[in-house]
Amino acid sequence: MHELVAVLDFGSQYAQLISRRIRECGVYCEIIPHDLPASELRALGPKAIVLSGGPASVLEEDHPGLDPAIFELGIPVLGICYGLQLTARMLGGRLERGLAREYGPAAIDIDDTGRLFAGLEDRLDVWMSHGDHVSVPPHGFTILAHTPTCQVAAMGDDNRKIYGVQFHPEVVHTPRGKEILRNFLFTIARCSGEWTMKGFIEESIRAIRAEVGNGKVICGMSGGVDSAVVAALINRAIGNQMTAIFVDNGVLRAGEAEEIRDTFTDVYPLNLDIVNASEKFFAALSGVTDPEDKRKIIGRTFIDVFYGEAARIGGADYLAQGTLYPDVIESRSAKGGPSATIKSHHNVGGLPEDLRFTLIEPLKELFKDEVRLLGRELGMPDSILQRQPFPGPGLAVRILGEVTKENVAILQEADRRVSEEMVKWEGYRDVWQSFAVLLPVKTVGVMGDERTYANVIAVRAVQSMDGMTADWVRMPHELLARISTRIINEVKGVNRVVYDISPKPPSTIEWE
Ligand code: XMP
């Protein structure tokens, strides 16, 4: 087994970022609920424990806590922000309620240039985000850094190997944050940093074989990168015991089903089964306008189709899908974890409670960029790996209002023109997603001498690292003009195009 760092999650939006940074150091890391008992945590055998930040105040009753025995395990601990405050509080330090929330850039002065801050300058730019602060560290701790308004910007106890920082080393606004994490991981916790994709593949293959034995697996393919990589990985592990199923649900992009067939029969052959179930999906979606309802209906219909296919191939006990780490975190929060629920989306959201398959989700510990690395390691071509993400519910969440065949046809045509123009642009490689959205409003236009009253298409193009945050693409006006002209002139039923200039947060990438 690879060595593990456990990030205990107190509801920080940054818990995943902490995890990413640690993995970037070649150390495998998992986010774990903050209330896991110390005995269970010890059983996981972590080399180090990181306590994340979080929105609560430790000065309030009922704040999320942690099993105090965790501090007695002899495993190095690093508390970040809320994690530091909780450490201070639980080990006997003093905390003060901040008069105002300190949020944004700050400079810390280093009081101890060993251990956590070894090899770094005496003054560091950091990103602060906190209300309360530690005024007196617990017995046995020394102050490692301070700012004029925050006496304890970092503290540590070398004997117990427990440390804490008030700022966020995981965000890019703390330029030397990675070095601080590296000092913790390698100097203090003595991690080896040998986690690689090759190792991950070997371990996954072993685990899949052990779990499935002689059983049969069906793998739901969406045409996106994640499910393609899952299918390739499982195929590597158990060959034709796996059937990859691509469901044409009627809300795909133009030409998608054909593209998938060509790719996975010629370019990267897999045991692929294409099922046309579009009528079933349209019937289920008829009259439905609520985004959450749409997602759930689509999820359920997928599962129905999978049951049918499982029966057709003589029974399959397992369903594999390309759930990624961010999906797991979001569905965990949907089930009452400490962070807020944003949308009940992704593969996990639409599954029925009484699912008759055992789920196999070999990517559920990975981030998107790691999945691409994994695919590369499995010999998959860029034509598959560099595809833009596409949501499981497809165009249904890009048609605001009811999904009808007519609406799908309009959106497919508009979307095809967005894609055709985008791929010609030299900046395309840096675009996370670019697509069209069909709005449920009609506006007045004039074409020739005729008044028109037709649909509006919104164009969305975003840059992102992992889909968790995103910003709209500053694309050239000429490109926007070409997209707009083509859509308005060539797509019947559209007389207006707008460009979405909203970042995530506060908006989301998809409109539903
Ligand atoms: P949002 O809209 O939440 O999307 O900012 C973030 C990323 O996730 C994709 N997405 C989905 N993917 N099933 C999926 O497989 C879904 O239900 C779903 N909803 C959003 C979205 O395209 C973006 O990349």
Question: In the chain, what percentage of residues exceed pLDDT 70?
Answer: 95
Give residue-wise pLDDT tens across range 284-339. 999 999 999 999 999 999 999 999 999 999 999 999 999 887 777 666 554 444 44
Q: Which residues are part of the catalytic machinery?
A: 81, 168, 170
How far is Cα of residue 15 from the mean position of the Cα atoms in its chain?
Answer: 11
Q: What pLDDT does 344 receive?
A: 46
State the Cα–Cα distance between residues 135 and 133, nearest whole angstrom. Answer: 6
Boundaries of CATH 3.40.50.620 in the chain?
197-385
Class of domain 5-188 (CATH, top level): alpha beta
How many residues does the structure list for the chain?
512
Residue from 460, 510, 511, 512 whose mutation best tests the ligand 1 pocket (most atoms within 8 A of CB) = 510
Q: What pLDDT does 152 receive?
A: 95
Q: Is the pLDDT of residue 388 over 60?
A: yes
Boundaries of CATH 3.30.300.10 in the chain?
398-499
Average pLDDT score over residue span 211-215: 96
Output the CA 327–ligand 1 centroid distance in Å: 9
Tell me which residue of 255, 257, 246, 286 sits closest to 405, measured CA to CA. 286
User: In 118-270, where does DSSP find H-type helix?
Assistant: 177-182, 197-212, 225-238, 256-262
Give residue-wise pLDDT tens across range 225-241. 999 999 999 999 999 99
Residue whose CA lies nearest to ligand 1 atom number 7? 467
**Do β-strands 46-51 and 77-80 pair in parallel, antiparallel, or remain unpaired?**
parallel
State the Cα–Cα distance between residues 236 and 252, nearest whole angstrom. Answer: 28
Boundaries of CATH 3.40.50.880 in the chain?
5-188
Residues with CB under 6 A from ligand 1: 295, 343, 345-347, 389, 391-393, 433, 467, 504, 508-510
Residue from 230, 329, 339, 345 whose mutation best tests the ligand 1 pocket (most atoms within 8 A of CB) = 345
The neighbour count for residue 246, using CB atoms within 10 Å, is 25
| Token representation of residue 397 | 């969440």
Residue whose CA lies nearest to ligand 1 atom number 6? 467
State the Cα–Cα distance between residues 304 and 306, nearest whole angstrom. Answer: 5
| Cβ partners under 8 Å of residue 112, min gap 6 | 142, 143, 144, 145, 156
Nearest atom (ligand 1) to Cα of 393: 17
Class of domain 398-499 (CATH, top level): alpha beta
pLDDT band at 353 (very low <50, low <70, confident <90, very high): confident
Q: What pLDDT does 342 receive?
A: 42
Name the residue with tokens 């992102």.
464
Q: Is the pLDDT of residue 273 over 90?
A: yes
Question: Which 3-state string (H, E, C) describes 20-81?
Answer: HHHHHCCCEEEEEECCCCHHHHHHHCEEEEEECCCCCCCCCCCCCCCCHHHHHCCCCEEEEC
State the Cα–Cα distance between residues 86 and 423, nearest whole angstrom. Answer: 49
Average pLDDT score over residue span 135-144: 97
What does the radius of gyration of the chain's CA atoms come to, in whole angstroms?
A: 25
Quickly list DSSP for 376-397: HHTT--HHHHTPPP--TTGGGG
Q: What pLDDT does 331 receive?
A: 60
The superfamily in CATH containing domain 197-385 is HUPs (3.40.50.620)
Q: What pLDDT does 347 receive?
A: 54
State the Cα–Cα distance between residues 124 and 145, nearest whole angstrom. Answer: 10
What Å distances lie between residue 494 and 60, 97, 394, 401, 410, CA to CA? 54, 56, 20, 16, 8
Q: What pLDDT does 103 receive?
A: 76
Q: What pLDDT does 329 receive?
A: 64
Q: Identify which has the larger pLDDT, 198 or 438.
A: 438
Q: What pLDDT does 350 receive?
A: 61
Output the CA 316–ligand 1 centroid distance in Å: 28
Tell me which residue of 92, 188, 98 sits closest to 141, measured CA to CA. 92
Q: What pLDDT does 17 receive?
A: 86
Torsion of CA 312, 318, 322, 326, to 10 degrees: 140
Residue whose CA lies nearest to ligand 1 atom number 11? 391
**Do β-strands 77-80 and 123-130 pair in parallel, antiparallel, or remain unpaired?**
unpaired
Q: Are 365 and 409 in contact (CB under 8 A)?
A: no
Amino acid, single-letter form, for residue 4? L
Tell me which residue of 163, 135, 164 sits closest to 147, measured CA to CA. 135
Q: Are 497 and 488 in contact (CB under 8 A)?
A: yes
Average pLDDT across the chain, whole number: 92
